[in-house]
Structure 1
Amino acid sequence: MNLISAHIPAFWSWLLWPLTGLLFYAMWQRARWRMLADRDNLNVFAGACVALLGLWLIKAGIKPGLNFHLLGASALTLMFRPWFALLALALVLAAVTLMNGEYAAYPANLLIMAVLPVTLSWTIYRLGERWLPHHLFIYVFLNGFFGSALAVSAVGLASTGFVALAGAYPLDYLLDNYLPFYLLMAWSEAFATGMLITILVVYKPEWVATFDDRRYLHGK
């Protein structure tokens, strides 16, 4: 979903913009910026942002602000860890916002389509690291397939609730004509993310920051 400015009540904007500012401040403080000092890392990060922007531009919609596209948040989280995943999503969303001119909707879109799925994806990864065996198939299916499907489903539920609370569309309309398709799209996200992560850990494991050959492959 890409919310439009007309869906954001003025009072909510006063709350969402400061939250966005705090998010960027935390990102500036906690992200390991030296990672981008490496030319190879910078190229991979920039390439991922460009690829994600192209993915976001391939979308379908039923009404203004009610559209569908693959998210890519879980893949970015696995590749770059949470802070750089948030940075990539923030940059892509900024580019999309510049194209459509829906500036007032930027904070809400960022919180719903970036902070929520990245936080959920990272939580699933950390729980799996702590409680489950370190195995390649567990890593791929838990984080690539299940994690991405759950993240997109959460975005669908959050965006549905947000739009309904904002009074943009009736809840019964959203439940009948929007949310079911978003939940179905979670399977597409799961397949795409799982396939991408599988290819990367096999051919380019150095591009996936959360993957370690010694932990997931050696001795298995």
Structure 2
Amino acid sequence: MNLPDNLLDPALHWLGWGLFAAVFLLALRRAPWGRLGDSAQSNVWLGTIVILTLLWSIKAGVLPGLDLHLLGAMTFTLEFGPWLAFVGLSLVLAGITVNGAAGWESFGLNALVMAGLPVLLAYGIYRFNQRRLSKNPFVFIFANGFFGSALTILATGVAASALLYLGGAYPLEKLLDDYLPYFLLLGFSEAWLTGMVVTILVVYRPQWISTFDDSIYLAKK
């Protein structure tokens, strides 16, 4: 994650920018911007961006592109849905890129790997849990906040490793030995943090989580 410039082929950077631009424009059109007309909701959205920018700035890594940091994609997606979450995470990436933690040439690829894919996975996991599992607040918290967030960051790690390998940045053996295994530890940290945040929000601020419907999850409970 946090791909710097000149690590991959320039053609991949152009492809990443093209795909990102298409998805970002779609997100701008589909996002429920009316929700941010509420000052409380807009403050939560902006506050989440600021907090995640700080969180993404805390990273570990020894080689270019082999950085590790928490994502918070599941929390953002549960709060505001996929479109606003994707736009928000793109702004988070812009913030750390300005600080020099990533490259502008690779911004499109970084956005697809660290924003687009995690949000897509997070929302897919949420929809699966909503359809297949019991409508219970505890199930919502554990299936999405804990297990869902861990699966999201693990899948992101696999995608990042695949991109680095296919792009010729590092050999597969190095990625399997020195990079991908650490996403297991990162997944535990992501699950603990996201689960804690989702629990607090469900209990004290359920109106901040657009995917948590009181009439569904608390009816007859």
Q: TM-score, normalised by structure 2?
A: 0.96
Q: Which runs of 5 or more structure 2 residues have no equivalent in the other structure? A: none
In 2, distance between residues paired with 1:159 and 1:183? 14
Supply the AA of the counterpart residue of 2:50.
V
The 5 A counterparts of 1:192-207 are 192-207=193-208
Instruction: Give the superposition deviation at 1:84.
Output: 0.7
Tell me if structure 1 keeps the 8 A contact 2:16–2:106.
no
Counterpart residue number, 1:181: 182
**Aligned-partner SS, 1:96:** helix
In 2, distance between residues paired with 1:91 and 1:52? 10
Counterpart residue number, 1:147: 148
- In the alignment, structure 1 residue 168 sits paired with structure 2 residue 169: yes
TM superposition outliers: structure 1 runs of 4+ over 2 Å: none
Instruction: Give the superposition deviation at 1:210.
Output: 0.6
Counterpart residue number, 2:108: 107
The C-alpha deviation readout for 1:108-129, integer Å capped at 9, x for no partner, is: 1100111111101101111111
Tell me if structure 2 keeps the 8 A contact 1:8–1:104.
no
Counterpart residue number, 1:36: 36
In 1, distance between residues paired with 2:17 and 2:55? 26
**Aligned-partner SS, 1:62:** coil
Q: Which runs of 5 or more structure 1 residues have no equivalent in the other structure? A: none
In 1, distance between residues paired with 2:156 and 2:65? 14
- In the alignment, structure 1 residue 116 sits paired with structure 2 residue 109: no
**Aligned-partner SS, 1:218:** coil
**Aligned-partner SS, 2:96:** helix
- Greater share of helix: 1
- In the alignment, structure 1 residue 213 sits paired with structure 2 residue 203: no
In 2, distance between residues paired with 1:172 and 1:141? 34
Instruction: Give the superposition deviation at 1:8.
Output: 2.4
Tell me if structure 1 keeps the 8 A contact 2:80–2:209.
yes
Which deviates more, 157-166 or 124-133?
A: 124-133
Supply the AA of the counterpart residue of 1:179.
L
Supply the AA of the counterpart residue of 1:31.
A
Instruction: Give the superposition deviation at 1:35.
Output: 1.1
Counterpart residue number, 2:5: 5
Counterpart residue number, 1:52: 52
**Aligned-partner SS, 1:67:** coil
Counterpart residue number, 1:25: 25
The C-alpha deviation readout for 1:85-130, integer Å capped at 9, x for no partner, is: 1011000101111121610110111001111111011011111111
In 1, distance between residues paired with 2:144 and 2:211? 10
Counterpart residue number, 2:97: 97
Tell me if structure 2 keeps the 8 A contact 1:13–1:104.
yes
Tell me if structure 2 keeps the 8 A contact 1:156–1:183.
no
Instruction: Give the superposition deviation at 1:182.
Output: 1.5
Instruction: Give the superposition deviation at 1:60.
Output: 1.0
Cα RMSD over matched residues?
1.1
Identity of aligned residues (%): 48
Tell me if structure 2 keeps the 8 A contact 1:56–1:69.
yes
Q: TM-score, normalised by structure 1?
A: 0.97
Tell me if structure 2 keeps the 8 A contact 1:121–1:148.
yes
Counterpart residue number, 1:88: 88
Query: How many positions carry a matched residue from both structures?
Result: 220
